[in-house]
Structure 1
């Protein structure tokens, strides 16, 4: 995924599935300038990681 699409998903009112290496994640923040996103893995709010948006995949 690219940073622009990650930002669109983050700002969307709809629920759009996103996966990181097979795990469902919620996008918490997108740094478009650096191509990075902070995501929450699963339902655990303390399990947040910052990753390259290239590692994220939109669930279809």
Structure 2
């Protein structure tokens, strides 16, 4: 995924499924470097991680 698509997903009101390493995640923000994003798992856990956006996959 690229930074432009991450921004589109963040501004969308639709529920767009995104996966990181085969696990569904929510994108919280695109980080200032434009190469990483902060995400957290869908579900009850609120653990956040910083990941490379090229590793995110839209489903």
TM-score using structure 1 length:
0.86
Query: Per-residue displacement from partner, 1:6-55 (whole Å, max 9, x unpaired)?
Result: 1110110111000000000000001264311100113111x110111001
**CA shift at 1:2, angstroms?**
0.4
Number of residue pairs matched by the alignment: 58
1:31 maps to which residue?
31
Equivalent runs, 1:1-60 vs 2, <5 Å? 1-31=1-31, 33-43=33-43, 44-45=45-46, 47-59=47-59
Q: Cα RMSD over matched residues? A: 1.2
Separation of aligned partners in 2, 1:12 and 1:36: 19
Question: What stretches of structure 2 of length at least 5 have no aligned partner?
Answer: none
Question: What stretches of structure 1 of length at least 5 have no aligned partner?
Answer: none
TM-score using structure 2 length:
0.88
4+ residue runs over 4 A deviation: none
